[in-house]
Amino acid sequence: MNHLKLTHAKSLIEKFLSTHKDELKRIGLTMGIGRCSYNNQSADIKITIMDSVEINGTTLEPQAILWHNNAEYHRMEKDWIGKSFNNKGYTFTIVGWKPKARKQPVQLKRNDGKSFKCSVEMTRKFMIPEKVMAETALNKLV
């Protein structure tokens, strides 16, 4: 008797996604893999299908779309998505927004592939040079 392994289940789903990617794009949808739970006999994998959003020819992931919806409200730039900054010898890239994480909604990916979350204030601190932040603070006082 063969036992189901998580890697087998995920590889089957990824193969399914790659074979249907062009068809989904043709009708304006995007699909992604969510949470997965499994045991020896079955696997439950969340598949998300949603309208795709393209900016400059690049299809955005759901968390990147949420970034575009929330960035300006929090005094950040929409084009920071995909941009990087350095901290403590690592390079961090902004990959999206997680609205359920109220205190640290900014989603980051480190250059070694590990994911992190960050507050809006810290993100602005890393993305906006100190001189610009000081000028902005002065303009608000005047």
Q: Can you give 26-74 as a three-state secondary structure string?
A: HCCEEEEEEEEEECCCCEEEEEEEEECCEECCEECCHHHHHHHHHCHHH
Distance of CA 83 to the CA centre of its chain: 12
Q: And the tokens for 22? A: 């062009």
CB contact at 8 A, 106 and 123: yes
pLDDT digits (tens, 9 = 90+) for 62-119: 788 888 888 888 989 888 988 898 888 999 999 999 988 889 999 999 999 899 999 9
Q: What is the pLDDT of residues 14-59, one digit of tens each?
A: 888 888 878 877 887 777 777 777 777 777 877 777 776 666 666 5
Burial class (CB in 10 A: 0-12, 13-18, 19+), 30: buried
Distance of alpha carbon 64 from alpha carbon 72, whole angstroms: 13
* pLDDT level of residue 139 (50, 70, 90 thresholds): low
pTM score, whole prediction: 0.57
